[in-house]
């Protein structure tokens, strides 16, 4: 074989190799989500928990998580993040009732979308994800622009905590506590009725200066969210059915309640059950056991406000040592909480000459 012939063979082999690589690359590029020729495309799947915001509204930007929502790992097409939004990308569409949502990002396990303007302001509507001709089961979501939805958390008993949890429209989140003063709800207000008659809220006398700023919060990151302690402003001494309404106010003059309503719930019935002292004592022992290992967020966002449901000597015995807690917020919050106890009880429990409320500067 001559030198020229040998060179030709080598060149041919190189060209065939290049052609093979190009063909493989073309095949890979043409497969957004590689599957065998006989394998059927997977059906998109997600649940209500796949959308972290549970109250939706027209125009809201939403992150939706699930399985088989689009090509893996993501759609390679350019998706503009401003209007006009695309309603289909890589064969993926999201339908809110009968209207397509705007798409901002499409991936195998996540879609970012904008709720269409004609979605309901109040009520419910189904959402479906379609990948070409295969669609997920419809998942029904609640829509609300101004209405809150409240419910009692767990089971409530007389002389024990009554926490109200709320699903809020966008812009109306609850981040309790809002201040070292436990009775300050940051612009939220409860109303309670029994047998159609309004009950009178119970507010202890403010001691020690400023309550807090409107819209601010002191809640640590691990404080429970989206709930408020109803028992701080209404004492439940009798079992029965109570009607509750929660209102979120924009501030009125000088930050007072009474401005413009931002969000409000319907009147909602809750049930408070009877309980003997044995049940309450078991609960108090459990709370006392939690204190040693509790974080500051758990103390100010749960344990201390719960102890104020029925401020007697048993609750006070658990609360008093928390005034010496190394965390400044916990110490101040526990100290201010003493305003909910009877002055005579505090006189007997505190060392002579020691003030009930101590302010750290």
* Chain length of the chain: 361
Task: Note the pLDDT of residue 211.
Answer: 55
The answer for 132, left when phi > 0, alpha when psi is -120 to 50, beta otherwise, is left
What is the pLDDT, as a whole number, of residue 145? 87
Q: Quote the pTM value.
A: 0.77
Extract the tokens encoding 220.
Answer: 């640590």
Q: What are phi and psi of 46, to 5 degrees?
A: -155, 165
Torsion sign over Cα 23, 24, 29, 30? positive
What is the reported pLDDT for 170? Answer: 85
Pick the CATH number of 48-144 from 2.60.40.10, 3.30.428.10, 2.30.30.140, 1.20.120.1200: 2.60.40.10
d(CA 66, CA 128): 12
Residue 213: the pLDDT is 55
* CATH topology match: 48-144 vs 147-273: yes
Verify cis geometry, omega within 30 degrees of 0, for the bond prior to 39.
no
Q: What is the pLDDT along the chain (361 residues), one digit of tens a residue?
A: 544 444 444 444 443 444 344 434 433 444 444 444 445 579 999 999 999 887 999 999 999 999 999 999 889 999 998 889 999 999 999 999 999 999 999 999 999 999 999 999 999 999 999 999 999 999 999 999 889 999 999 999 999 999 999 999 988 889 999 999 999 998 899 999 999 999 999 988 776 555 555 568 999 999 999 999 999 999 999 999 999 999 998 765 444 555 788 899 999 999 999 999 999 999 999 999 999 999 999 999 999 999 999 999 999 999 999 999 999 999 999 999 999 999 999 988 887 656 555 544 3
The string of DSSP letters for 198-209 reads: EPPP--PPP-SS
CATH of domain 147-273: 2.60.40
- Residue-range domain boundaries for the chain: 48-144, 147-273, 277-349
Q: Which of 310, 249, 302 is nearest to 281 (CA)?
A: 310
Judge contact between 178 and 186, C-beta under 8 A.
yes
Other Cβ atoms closer than 10 A to 14 = 10
Q: Single out the residue of 132, 153, 149 nearest to residue 141, CA to CA.
A: 149
Reference 44, options 130, 122, 119; nearest CA is 130
Cα 222–209–247 angle (5° rounding)? 55
Comparing CA positions, the residue from 117, 178, 173 lying closest to residue 301 is 178
At 350 the pLDDT is 85
């Amino acid at each position: 074989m001559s030198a020229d012939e040998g060179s030709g063979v080598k060149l041919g082999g190189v060209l065939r190799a290049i052609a093979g690589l190009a063909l493989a690359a073309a095949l890979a590029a043409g497969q957004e989500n590689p599957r065998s020729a006989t394998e059927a495309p997977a059906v998109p799947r997600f649940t209500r928990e796949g959308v972290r915001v549970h109250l939706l509204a027209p125009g809201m930007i939403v992150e939706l998580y699930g399985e088989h929502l689009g090509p893996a790992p993501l759609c390679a097409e350019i998706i503009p993040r401003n209007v006009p939004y695309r309603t289909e990308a890589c064969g993926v569409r999201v339908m809110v009732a009968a209207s397509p949502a705007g798409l901002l990002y499409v991936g195998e396990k996540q879609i970012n979308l904008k709720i269409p303007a004609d979605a309901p302001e109040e009520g419910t509507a189904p959402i479906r994800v379609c990948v070409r001709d295969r669609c997920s089961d419809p998942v029904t979501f609640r829509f609300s622009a101004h209405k809150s939805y409240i419910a009692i958390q767990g089971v409530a008993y007389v002389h024990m905590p009554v926490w109200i949890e709320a699903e809020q429209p966008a812009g109306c989140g609850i981040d309790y506590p809002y201040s070292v003063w436990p009775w300050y709800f940051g612009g939220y207000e409860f109303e309670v009725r029994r047998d159609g008659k309004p009950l009178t809220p119970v507010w202890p006398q403010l001691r020690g200066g400023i309550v807090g700023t409107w819209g601010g919060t002191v809640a640590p990151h691990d404080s429970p969210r989206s709930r408020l302690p109803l028992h701080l402003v209404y004492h439940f001494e009798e079992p029965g059915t109570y009607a509750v309404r929660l209102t979120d106010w924009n501030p009125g003059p000088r930050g007072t309640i009474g401005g413009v309503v931002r969000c409000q719930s319907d009147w909602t019935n809750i049930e408070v059950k009877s309980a003997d002292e044995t049940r309450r004592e078991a609960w108090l022992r459990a709370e006392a056991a939690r204190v040693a290992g509790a974080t500051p967020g758990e103390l100010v966002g749960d344990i201390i406000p719960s102890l104020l449901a029925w401020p007697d000597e048993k609750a006070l015995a658990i609360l008093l040592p928390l005034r010496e807690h190394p965390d400044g917020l916990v110490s101040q919050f526990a100290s201010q909480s003493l305003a909910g106890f009877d002055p005579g009880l505090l006189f007997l429990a505190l060392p002579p000459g020691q003030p009930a409320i101590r302010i750290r500067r």
